[in-house]
Amino acid sequence: MSELRYPNESKEYRNARDSLLKEEQELVDKVKSVAERRRSLPPGGQLKEDYVFEWANDGKVGKSVRFSELFGDKNTLLLYSWMYGPNWDHPCPSCTSLMDGFDRTWYSVSKDAAFVAIAKASADQINAWAKHRGWSKISLVSGYDSPFQADYKCQGESDDMQWPVMHVFRRRGEKIFHFWATEVLANHVDTVWPYWNLMDFTPEGRPDIPTPPQNFRSEFLERNYLNKE
């Protein structure tokens, strides 16, 4: 790749590109290094309780499922808590953008780890939105009657003040332990967000907007989050 040249490119371009390439490689190496450190974390706290949720996938909406059952035959569970409260008009556009990607990634991820998304909205609300967006793969649950989101820092002072968090849990024998979570809200799962990362490749870069463009608005989000001073 050191001899790579594209048609009609200038020497100035190639020199600048090679310089940038070094920084890109350093970034890749840093991501791998952080991932290695993450894998070597000691066990986190044991799961507070075997929470009971409700399935929100078509065909089993409202049926109870325990936290421990979400693992299936896997020992690792990725659980993404997305922003959709019981009294929201529409869910968070950013979380919806992520979920669009997660739904299609689920097939590959689920070969090695369980992958579930949870929201505080009711199972019926989640299912209706999933149908609207065409989500058909990822497992969906509602934490409407569960204290999970409050216990694991996915919400503020009420059920409607939700925060986006990716949690990872590990099962060891009969016990379940918290392994890791995103604890930085800004671009909290940026490395797996297709929209922002693809826009980073463009000359224009990411649009200077708080959420990815969507064909809907979340008035609750705008009123209670984006317009707060």
> Residue 210: what pLDDT?
79
CA 220 – CA 161 distance, rounded (Å):
10
pLDDT at 221: 93
pTM of the model: 0.93
Give 118-140 pLDDT, tens digit per residue: 999 999 999 999 999 999 999 99
Beta strands in the chain (DSSP E): 52-55, 64-66, 76-81, 114-119, 139-142, 165-172, 175-181
pLDDT recorded at residue 183:
87
| pLDDT, mean over the chain | 94
pLDDT at 154: 95
Distance of alpha carbon 88 from alpha carbon 160, whole angstroms: 7
What is the pLDDT, as a whole number, of residue 190? 81
* pLDDT in the model for residue 191: 82
SS3 98: helix
Taking only the tens place, the pLDDT of each residue in 158-197 is 999 999 999 999 999 999 999 999 987 665 778 888 898 9
Mean per-residue pLDDT for 40-48?
A: 96
